C-alpha cells in the first residue's frame, strides 16, 4: 500500500481530512465522477437498483423484509424525510438526545408541528433504556422513538440495542440516525429492531456528499403513503417511484455522486466488507487516542463510550492553547481537524474515517508533537 504522501501527490490533495465527512476519498471514487451521465436510461437506473440492493444487504441478513430509499441532499434531508413522512398527524415522537444531532431531530419535529417529547441525557452520558421505558409507560400517545447511534458531537457510540428492545416491547416505531456509523461497524437492523435507519453517502461508505439513504422495514414504509408534510422529502413517494420504475428518482438525481457511491461500495467489498473496515477504524482510533494521551491530550469520553469514528480531546491545560493556531499548523503539515461542538468543555475533534490508514494517524501524531505549545 502506498503511503498518504504518495497518494496525495497522485491526486493533488493538499491535506488529509480528519473530519466526520465529507472525508478523504480514494482516487477510484473520485475518478468515477469524471464523465457525465444521463438519468433516464436503463444503465443508470440499474446502477441505482444495484446500490439499493447492496445497501439492504449491508444492513441486514433478513433483507426480504427491508428496502432502501435514496434521497437527494445531505444527511439531514433524510432525517427530515423520515420524521416528516413516518409520524402521522395524530402520532407523537420521542427523541432521545445527547448532542447536536439529537437536538436537530427535535428541531425538525418542531418545524413540522409534530408532537414531541424529549429525553435529554446530557452531552457526556450515553442514552439508556430505563428512562425510555418509563416515558413510554407514562405517555401511551407516543408512537415513534428516535435516537442517534454515533453522536458525532462528542464521538459517543450510543448503545441502541436496549432502546430497540423497549420500543418493540411497547409496539413503537424505531428510528435511528446511523449517519456516521453505518458501514463502519457491523450491525443488523432486524436484530436491533430498527424500522428506519438513516445514513448518507459521505460517511463510512466513503463516497462524496450529495445524497442520503434510508433503510426501512417495508411494512412500516407502506404506512407512510399520503402522510408526508412536504413534497420533495416525501419518503413514500420517493420509494414508490424507485420501486415501480426500477431505480428512477423523482427529481434530478446527483448522477456523479451516485456513480462515485457505486465505486465506494465496490471498494468496501474489496476491503473485506464492514467487519474489516470496522477493524481499520478501530485501529486508527486506538493509535490516535493512545498517541494523543502520550502527548498529554485528554480525551473527553471514557473508552467505554468512545466510537471508532471521531474522538474529542480537551484543550491542553495551561490556558495558552489556541485552537486556531493549532489548526493552521496541522493544516500546513497536511491534516485538517475539526473544532469541538459541545457547551460543557473546550474541545477539538479528530476523525479517523475515510481513506485513512494507521500510518496516516502516526504521521498526524508526529505533526501534533511538532505543533506543541
Contacts with ligand PLP by CB under 6 A lie at 20-21, 74-76, 101, 148, 152, 177, 179-180, 200
The span from the CA of 284 to the CA of 52, in Å, is 29
Query: Are 4 and 336 in contact, with CB atoms under 8 Å apart?
Result: no
**Ordered DSSP codes for 66-117:** EEEEEEES-HHHHHHHHHHHHS-TT-EEEEEESSHHHHHHHHHHHHTT-EEE
Distance of CA 288 to the CA centre of its chain: 20
Q: Between residues 212 and 247, which has the closer beta carbon with respect to ligand PLP?
A: 212
Which residue lies nearest ligand PLP, judged by its C-beta?
75
CB 348 → ligand PLP: shortest distance, Å? Answer: 16
Beta carbon of residue 74, minimum distance to ligand PLP (angstroms, whole number): 3
Rounded to a whole number of angstroms, the minimum distance from the CB of residue 161 to ligand PLP is 18
Cβ closer to ligand PLP: 71 or 368? 71
What distance in Å separates the CA atoms of residue 164 and residue 149, rounded to the nearest whole number?
11
Question: What are the backbone angles phi and psi of residue 41, rounded to the nearest 5°?
Answer: -90, 165
CB 368 within 8 A of CB 34: no
By beta-carbon proximity to ligand PLP, the closer residue of 117 and 177 is 177
Reduced to 3 states, what is the DSSP secondary structure of residue 175? strand
User: Closer CB to ligand PLP, residue 24 or residue 45?
Assistant: 24
Helix, strand and coil percent figures for the chain, each rounded to 5:
40, 15, 40
Question: In angstroms, what is the minimal distance from the CB of 106 to ligand PLP?
Answer: 13
Minimum Å gap between C-beta 101 and ligand PLP is 4
Nearer CB in complex with ligand PLP: 98/253? 98
Q: Between 76 and 312, name the residue whose CB sits nearer to ligand PLP.
A: 76
Q: How far is the CB of 210 from ligand PLP (least distance, A)?
A: 10
Residues contacting 115, CB < 8 A, separation 6+: 91, 92, 93, 141
- Least spacing, CB of residue 156 vs ligand PLP, in Å: 10
* Residue 100 C-beta: closest distance to ligand PLP, Å: 8
Dump the DSSP string for 22-78. Answer: S----HHHHHTTSS---SSSHHHHHHHHHHHHHHHHHH-S-GGGEEEEEEES-HHHH
Nearest to 242 by CA among 58, 51, 23: 51
Estimate to the nearest angstrom the gap between the alpha carbon of 119 and the chain centroid: 21
78 or 136, CB closer to ligand PLP?
Answer: 78
Which of 157/368 has CB closer to ligand PLP? 157
Amino acid at each position: 500500500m502506498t503511503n498518504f504522501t504518495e497518494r496525495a501527490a497522485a491526486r493533488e490533495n493538499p491535506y488529509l481530512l480528519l473530519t466526520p465527512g465529507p472525508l478523504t476519498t480514494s482516487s477510484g471514487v473520485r475518478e468515477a465522477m469524471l464523465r457525465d451521465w444521463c438519468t433516464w436510461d436503463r444503465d443508470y437506473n440499474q446502477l441505482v437498483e444495484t446500490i439499493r440492493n447492496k445497501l439492504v444487504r449491508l444492513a441486514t441478513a433478513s433483507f426480504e423484509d427491508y428496502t432502501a430509499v435514496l434521497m437527494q441532499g445531505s444527511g439531514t434531508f433524510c432525517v427530515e424525510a423520515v420524521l416528516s413522512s413516518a409520524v402521522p398527524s395524530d402520532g407523537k415522537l420521542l427523541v432521545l438526545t445527547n448532542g447536536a444531532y439529537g437536538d436537530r431531530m427535535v428541531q425538525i419535529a418542531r418545524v413540522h408541528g409534530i408532537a414531541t417529547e424529549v429525553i435529554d441525557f446530557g452531552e457526556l452520558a450515553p442514552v439508556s433504556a430505563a428512562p425510555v421505558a418509563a416515558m413510554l409507560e407514562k405517555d401511551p400517545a407516543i408512537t415513534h422513538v428516535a435516537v442517534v447511534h454515533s453522536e458525532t458531537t462528542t464521538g459517543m457510540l450510543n448503545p441502541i440495542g436496549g432502546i430497540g428492545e423497549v420500543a418493540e416491547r411497547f409496539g413503537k416505531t424505531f428510528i435511528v440516525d446511523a449517519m456516521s456509523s453505518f458501514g463502519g461497524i457491523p450491525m443488523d437492523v432486524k436484530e436491533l429492531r430498527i424500522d428506519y435507519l438513516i445514513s448518507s453517502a459521505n460517511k463510512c461508505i466513503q463516497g462524496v456528499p450529495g445524497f442520503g439513504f434510508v433503510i426501512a422495514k417495508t411494512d412500516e414504509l407502506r404506512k407512510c403513503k399520503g402522510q408526508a408534510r412536504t413534497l420533495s422529502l416525501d419518503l413514500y413517494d420517493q420509494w414508490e417511484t424507485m420501486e415501480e420504475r426500477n431505480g428512477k428518482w423523482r427529481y434530478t438525481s446527483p448522477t456523479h455522486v451516485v456513480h462515485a457511491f457505486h465505486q465506494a461500495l465496490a471498494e468496501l467489498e474489496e476491503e473485506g466488507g464492514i467487519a474489516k473496515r470496522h477493524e481499520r477504524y478501530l485501529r486508527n482510533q486506538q493509535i490516535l487516542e493512545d498517541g494523543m494521551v502520550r502527548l498529554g491530550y485528554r480525551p473527553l469520553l471514557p473508552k467505554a463510550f468512545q466510537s471508532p469514528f471521531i474522538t474529542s480531546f480537551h484543550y491542553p491545560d495551561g490556558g495558552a492553547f489556541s485552537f486556531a493556531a493549532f489548526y493552521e499548523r496541522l493544516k500546513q503539515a497536511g491534516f485538517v481537524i475539526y473544532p469541538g461542538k459541545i457547551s460543557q468543555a473546550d474541545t477539538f475533534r479528530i476523525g479517523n474515517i475515510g481513506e485513512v490508514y494507521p500510518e496516516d494517524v502516526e504521521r498526524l501524531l508526529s505533526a501534533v508533537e511538532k505543533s506543541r505549545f
